[in-house]
Structure 1
Amino acid sequence: MDLKCLDPKELYNINSVFVYIYSFVYIVSPIHGCALYYKMDQIINIC
């Protein structure tokens, strides 16, 4: 995914989805939630 091609509004929507998924997983399993969040953060940094 090339974040440079997205406008700020689209980027905000994608970020909201990440936060929603992270929050859901964190409630189900804090350990896996942290790992998932870290992986998503790396994916964002790579892009």
Structure 2
Amino acid sequence: MQWHFELFSIYFYIDLDQLLYKPSIYRISGLIQITNHHQEIAIINLLTL
């Protein structure tokens, strides 16, 4: 799974397997959108493997 960052129309991808302490148990796919006016976090889905 990857988190998708949209920062001023620039896209970054981070592998959650390197971020989560126990990635084999919880995988998160999320979308973070950051603009000049607000920061919005929408978790698309949460999978428990």
Same fold (TM over 0.5): no
For normalisation by structure 1, the TM-score amounts to 0.30
Which one has the bigger strand percentage? 2
* Structure with greater helix share of residues: 1
